[in-house]
Structure 1
Amino acid sequence: MARRTAIVLALLLDIAASAQAQPRVHADAALQGTPAPVAIGGRTAPHPAGLAHQWPGVHFETAFEGDQAGFELVAPPLTLHVLVDGERVATLRQPAPGRYRVDGLAPGRHVLRLETASENQAAAHVFGGFLLPRGSRALELPARARRIEFIGDSHTVGYGNTSTTRECSSAEVDATTDTSAAFGPQVARHYGADYRIHAISGRGVVRNYDGHAGDTLPAAWPYLLLSHGHPDEDTAWQPQLVVIALGTNDFSTALHEGEPWADRAALREDYVRTYARFVRQLRARWPRAHFVLWATDAVDGEIRDHARQVAMKLLGEGDRRISFLPVSGLDMQACHWHPSAADHVRLREALVAHIDALPPPWDGD
């Protein structure tokens, strides 16, 4: 009886300590600590002060035992979510460079995660790493067996997805873009999967939005940074699923004089040929992955019809690990006629239903 009473008392004390714990995140220039291991989600490049990153949705994790931890932002993103044990405890908007302390935690085991929520095509960010103050010690993070690669444009970025209006200034787009709330991370969370997001707003397969200059997505994809610094030579990342949505920017605006296509038919032909070549390149790198190509019914179905042609072309060549998902019924109520928060839930549900109907893609399941 005495032993049972002691156990109950210990449990009550643990519950009380947890209830009193109020995690907080605050700048602390005086923070000192031991560097902690970093699990990286997404592409990073070496930097003298840490890890440079520019693709959207990059995230960092560490595990520790204790009641506090810290991190350093050398060149911060516009918006950064801070999560402890899977729960968001803070969102830093336009944070200043420097060190940040996460404290007020109940003593015990914790996972600290930072998620880049914003997009920045102009320059790379730099993460300085995690720090563990005295009294906290590093733990090993369990590896996730499932991996998904998401490739696309602004829809995959989550451009303006938390906005409730289509009319947005540039500042409002920045404030309402949240890649972590886009369909890709939602799908990954559903499956408990690691993920990478390689998407750039306004970029297409052969043509960018309104004919604007700049790399198309297939031209930018091979590099760790958008500046073409550091080709990605990492063969360790082997996703079981590759989810691609490209074509909105190729087709959503009229051709202009001086563009390299004589007419819309030539643009469509170039799109199908180049998209198929891009998928073949990815297939050579990830031979066991299942590829899901999806497209909306926008532009009178032009995007959907020609993305479908890509999938059919590859299937006709003998690639049996590829499927096509047409998507309709999106309200496009977010900034500049982009998918809304409700649309991203619809996309998640459509992709999950499609993936669940496939032969199980997960190794070891």
Structure 2
Amino acid sequence: MSTKFIFPILLFVLIGCKEEKKAYFTYKNATNEHFLYQGRTDIHNDTCKVLINSAASVEFIVEGDSINLYVEPQTKAHNYISLAINDEYIKRYKIEAGTINKIPLILPTQQSNKIGIYKATEASNGGIIFHGIDTKKLLPTNNDKHYSIEFIGNSITCGMGADKGEIPCGTGEWYDQHNAYLAYGPTVARALNANFILNSVSGIGMYRNWNSEPGEEPIMPEVYENLYLNTDSSKKYDFTYNPDIVSICLGTNDLSDGDGVKERFNFDTQKYIENYINFLNKIYTHYPKTKVALLTSPMISGEKGEILLECLTKIKEHFSKEHVIEIFEFSTVTPGGCTSHPDINDHKKIAEELVPFYKKMLNNSAE
């Protein structure tokens, strides 16, 4: 056979394969009924969905050996998603700003594969716009989990500084090591086969934030009911999510010494307790029958740890005749993540401590 015919034949084969692959896919936009969303979301340009809060997600089941994902940052800065396939964590993807990112995925089987896309960062980093997917076939997705847990907290709950595998601490942007999917909350929920939502903001507190005094910055009770967890009250969260447990881990920032430069007043025990009680009353207006878990902090010990536990005990006593509230006291963690935060292994250990505690609360709910 003459060699002058080899290149055209190969070119034809490659083009043919390429065209066949294009024909193999159909595009499904983000509003398709078979996409299952969890967390805080918003509509964008009618056919897209915004994943707003930490670990907000879209899950779906597809048929075929590959798909293309289309995602985009809502702001002009890069962002991150975490990907799971068939409930196995795969990796974290950087989503570049200013463009729709196409992410091709090779899937493990020709038959059905479950895909999960989770926002790795938090609400203050801007949303992840999910446009849709190319797929052979999008299959119905059912939520078969029997329990739901809402985790309210600060940077620990966000998974800030946890994932230092690709970008070392002290380099890049402040959120480049975020991985909410591997934070303690979602890890606990997966162990218990429970739905979850993270309503968490880095640096935030119950009556003051990490480096601010009351009135200088918005605190959790002031942003909680707003969809984007900020001071924009034009869009409210709908609270259709009905958790069996609301878990709150706030106090680390209230008790912190700040940056050591700005003047920091002594911790106001009365104000902390008062704000916490008012915040719980707000939660009970949305979830009258929920159980509440009050967590200490894995980053606080010694005298501050004792103060925090004493405050939480008084808050529990305040509601003892009306609501079921349990307190969990963490073991002290020596954080291995960035800026003295827990790393992925620390979050795993924290979750292992918490699972029996939540399991007991859920079992009591079923009785």
Q: TM-score range by the shorter chain?
A: 0.7 to 0.9
Mapping for residues 202-351 of structure 1, pairs under 5 Å: 202-211=203-212, 213-227=216-230, 228=232, 229-235=234-240, 237-253=241-257, 264=266, 267-296=268-297, 298=300, 300-317=302-319, 318-351=321-354
Provide the C-alpha distance between the structure 2 equivalents of 1:255 and 1:80, rounded to a whole number of angstroms.
30
Q: Tell me the SS of whatever aligns to 1:301.
A: helix
Choose from 41, 46, 50 the match for 1:44. 41
Q: Is the 8 A contact 2:244 2:362 kept in 1?
A: no
Cα deviation code 1:119-160 (max 9, x no counterpart):
35143332223x343x42422324322111000001111111
Q: Tell me the SS of whatever aligns to 1:344.
A: helix
Q: Match of 2:246, as an amino acid?
A: V
Provide the C-alpha distance between the structure 2 equivalents of 1:247 and 1:180, rounded to a whole number of angstroms.
22
Mapping for residues 154-169 of structure 1, pairs under 5 Å: 154-163=155-164, 168-169=169-170
Q: Match of 1:56, as an amino acid?
A: S
Q: Which runs of 5+ in 2 are unaligned?
A: 1-21
Provide the C-alpha distance between the structure 2 equivalents of 1:155 and 1:176, rounded to a whole number of angstroms.
12
Q: How much does 1:337 deviate?
A: 1.3
> Which deviates more, 333-342 or 323-332?
333-342
Q: Is the 8 A contact 2:151 2:197 kept in 1?
A: yes
Q: How much does 1:362 deviate?
A: 4.9
Q: Which runs of 5+ in 1 are unaligned?
A: 1-27
The total of aligned residue pairs comes to 328
> Which deviates more, 297-306 or 281-290?
297-306
Provide the C-alpha distance between the structure 2 equivalents of 1:86 and 1:359, rounded to a whole number of angstroms.
22
Q: How much does 1:347 deviate?
A: 1.5
Which residue of structure 2 aligns with residue 193 of structure 1?
A: 194
Distance 1:42 1:170, change over 3 A: farther
Q: How much does 1:334 deviate?
A: 1.6
Q: Is the 8 A contact 1:276 1:310 kept in 2?
A: no
Q: How much does 1:300 deviate?
A: 3.4
Q: Tell me the SS of whatever aligns to 2:126.
A: coil
Q: Is the 8 A contact 2:35 2:141 kept in 1?
A: no
Mapping for residues 36-75 of structure 1, pairs under 5 Å: 36=32, 37-48=34-45, 49-75=47-73
Q: Is the 8 A contact 2:71 2:95 kept in 1?
A: no
Provide the C-alpha distance between the structure 2 equivalents of 1:148 and 1:38, rounded to a whole number of angstroms.
21
Q: Give TM-score scaled by structure 2 length.
A: 0.79
The percent identity for this pair of structures is 20
Distance 1:89 1:309, change over 3 A: closer
Answering whether residue 106 of structure 2 is matched by residue 103 of structure 1, we say: yes
Q: Give TM-score scaled by structure 1 length.
A: 0.79
Q: How much does 1:333 deviate?
A: 2.5
Choose from 332, 356, 362 the match for 2:359. 356
Provide the C-alpha distance between the structure 2 equivalents of 1:332 and 1:170, rounded to a whole number of angstroms.
18
Q: How much does 1:59 deviate?
A: 1.3
Q: Match of 1:253, as an amino acid?
A: D
Q: Is the 8 A contact 2:248 2:293 kept in 1?
A: yes
